[in-house]
Amino acid sequence: MRVLGIDPGIAIAGFGFIDKDGHKLKPVQYGCIQTAAHTPQEERLVQIYDSAAALMDKYKPDTVAVEKLFFNRNVTTAFAVGQARGVIILAAAQRGLPVAEYTPLQVKQAVVGYGKAEKRQVQEMVKMFLKLSAIPKPDDVADALAVAICHAHSSGMSQKINEVLR
């Protein structure tokens, strides 16, 4: 199973493709989609959509996992991130890809085993799980890989539960 993990953002949207084969996780490609400050919002959204669509077409994920919004005090930023999430989810939906959403707490729980883990702990676990030589930068990329790992772990559990319930 190939998973695309996304840490959405309007300035930087992290992405990470991983392959899951049994219990093994292997990085395929990771990086970020960046848009320039002072660019009109609608142009930034088009850039994010086009880049996400091109990545999905090139790396052919089986599923997409996106981090849910965490609302902080800056409502304007939250709206912009929500719009970026929307165009990424649209790109996935247009390709018939299932989309799963995870809260930051769920991601930390799945990757570190503790929902209130520090960012550095999550990054170190991403590095370890994927056998990387260094923590991916910027942080958004490591976060996207963490979302992908979360889904890889969670989807296996969901499949087992569904099999038992049948």
Catalytic amino acids? 7, 67, 140
What is the rounded CA–CA span in Å between residue 49 and residue 26?
A: 26
Exposed/middle/buried for 36, CB within 10 Å: 0-12, 13-18, 19+? exposed
Residue 73, Cα to own-chain centre: how many angstroms?
Answer: 23
User: Measuring CA to CA, which residue among 17, 5, 92, 102 is closest to residue 49?
Assistant: 92
What is the rounded CA–CA span in Å between residue 141 and residue 101?
A: 17
Residue 32 has φ and ψ, to the nearest 5°, of: -145, 155
Strand order in the sheet with 12-21: 24-34, 12-21, 2-7, 63-67, 99-102
Angle at CA of residue 8, ends 137 and 109, nearest 5°: 75
